[in-house]
Amino acid sequence: MLLIGGGGREHALAWKLKQSRRLGKLWTSGSSNAGLAKLGTPCPIEMNAKDAFRIQRWCDTNDIHLVVIGPEGPLAAGLTDVLQSAKRMVFGPTKAGAQLEADKAFAKQLMRQASIPTAEGRAFTDTESARAFVLARPEDQWVIKASGLAAGKGVIVCETISEALDAIDRMLVQREFGEAGATIIIEEKLQGQEVSVLALVDGRTISILDPCQDHKQRDEGDSGPNTGGMGAYCPTPVVDAPTMRAIEQQILLPVVDALRRDGIEYRGVLYAGLMLTPGGPKVLEFNCRFGDPECQPLMMRLRGDLVEILWATAAGILDQVDFDFDPRVAVCVVMCSAGYPGQYEKGKAITGIEEAEALSGDTGEIVVFHAGTTTNQTGQLVTNGGRVLGVTALADDLHSARDLANAACERIHFEGAFWRRDIGDRVLART
């Protein structure tokens, strides 16, 4: 099989795939992630979705039966459409399905038609209409979003009307996010706990995974700039059984049905980013892939054969596989390079991973997933990105898992390393 993508999410997927009796040879997409490199063979060709037919030929020659696409970019570019065939399954939706993430205006429209609860909002391409819309309700707080893919940066949560006007200007006039910001969504700012609910969807059957929460902001106390995710845990107690039923009945199933009515058979991960508001769960966004770092705690807890699970999802026979989750709690703490999410340096030597993993024992298990790492010419493990490692612990409860993950982080060193020690505080503080 071929696993496309080179981040912490893909290292976690590869780690779990390697535990499968059914795995033949694992090819990875040629990224230099040092953790992935230990688990798979780098595919010799460049995974540029623009060159999909070359990838297709390579897959044919190398007898690839299952392709797992980790990131949204190649999904939105339609790599699934090109690679899937009678002999080859692809895990991840087609280009049409990936619009759910890649085109927020499309997603909003679909939610409106299917009466799916979401933040009130409208799409705009015209600057004056967008300005008039927020100026008409100056007391309200707004969130301004680029409709297209912007590497997690295209959302500006505004406190004041002038911030909202500035955000409109940055997207529609200055084109800070390029074509991704040619259409923007202006929506009401919601309050509440934010949760990530991921489901496997095989076209019709859906299988909901345990709920996760991630911390998007860089600094402790959920302050500072937004990042790709500083840490995540699974399960979270904030989603109780009735809320989960509401999420399934009012959100996940209606989306899959609405897509099918549009002729789109969605296969892969359907990730709902939700706000638990006093009026019930509401959708902030959909993603068409596993979350990063949510995937790390999910894989750490998953009990089942991931090759079978992903194959069955892609083949439309999800009802034929069984899996469940370890009852313990997993916490992933992300260790970052100084400067992230802004400019940062690469090439800093990393030490202490073995010492960190040696903390596995009676209190729980530790696995260090690599994200932005590589091996330099002298064979030394070095940093190669903003999010460097996902230090993931599995223990009896959230508190002990978080403590174990933090203790493991203390044993790992690279120049400028920083991480949040308060992952999970949003729920720990409540109990």
Interacting residues with ligand AMP (CB under 6 A): 119, 143, 145, 155, 157, 187, 189-190, 194, 216, 273, 284-285
Do the Cβ atoms of 259 and 240 come closer than 8 Å? no
Least distance in angstroms from the C-beta of 408 to ligand AMP:
26
CA distances from 81 to 102, 142, 268 (A): 16, 36, 13
Cα 49 from Cα 201, distance rounded (Å): 23
Parallel, antiparallel or unpaired: strands 387-395 and 365-370? antiparallel
**Per CB under 6 A, 292 contacts ligand GLY:** yes
Q: What's the token pair of residue 114? A: 């299917």
Q: Which does 155 bind (CB under 5 to 8 A by kind): ligand AMP, ligand GLY, none?
A: ligand AMP
Cα 30 from Cα 17, distance rounded (Å): 17
29 vs 287, which CB is nearer to ligand GLY? 287
Q: Which does 268 bind (CB under 5 to 8 A by kind): ligand AMP, ligand GLY, none?
A: none
Amino acid at 281: P
Q: Which of 210, 294, 403, 422 forms a contact with ligand GLY (CB under 6 A)? A: 294
216 vs 328, which CB is nearer to ligand GLY? 216
Cα 84 from Cα 52, distance rounded (Å): 11
Do the Cβ atoms of 423 and 401 come closer than 8 Å? no
10 vs 305, which CB is nearer to ligand GLY? 10
Parallel, antiparallel or unpaired: strands 121-124 and 184-188? antiparallel
Touching ligand GLY, residues 204-233 (CB under 6 A): 214, 229
292 vs 365, which CB is nearer to ligand GLY? 292
Least distance in angstroms from the C-beta of 115 to ligand AMP:
18
Amino acid at 143: V
Please give the span between the terminal C-alpha atoms of the chain, in angstroms, as a whole number: 44
**Per CB under 6 A, 254 contacts ligand GLY:** no
Cα 271 from Cα 80, distance rounded (Å): 18
Tokens 């709902």, residue located:
272
56 vs 147, which CB is nearer to ligand GLY? 147
160 vs 351, which CB is nearer to ligand AMP? 160
Least distance in angstroms from the C-beta of 275 to ligand GLY:
14
What sign has the CA pseudo-torsion 93, 1, 332, 420?
negative
Do the Cβ atoms of 125 and 146 come closer than 8 Å? no
User: How would you list the strands of the sheet with 155-157, edge to edge?
Assistant: 121-124, 184-188, 142-146, 155-157
Cα 105 from Cα 112, distance rounded (Å): 11
- Among residues 109, 47, 115, the alpha carbon closest in space to that of 75 is found at 47
Least distance in angstroms from the C-beta of 292 to ligand GLY:
5
Taking CB under 6 A as the binding criterion, the range among 73-81, 142-150, 173-181, 284-292 that sits at the site for ligand GLY is 284-292
348 vs 387, which CB is nearer to ligand AMP? 387
Residues in the interface with ligand GLY (CB under 6 A) total 6
287 vs 337, which CB is nearer to ligand GLY? 287
Taking CB under 6 A as the binding criterion, the range among 142-150, 289-297, 305-313, 420-428 that sits at the site for ligand GLY is 289-297
Q: Which does 294 bind (CB under 5 to 8 A by kind): ligand GLY, ligand AMP, none?
A: ligand GLY
Q: Which does 157 bind (CB under 5 to 8 A by kind): ligand AMP, ligand GLY, none?
A: ligand AMP
Which residues make up the interface to ligand GLY (CB under 6 A)? 214, 229, 287, 291-292, 294
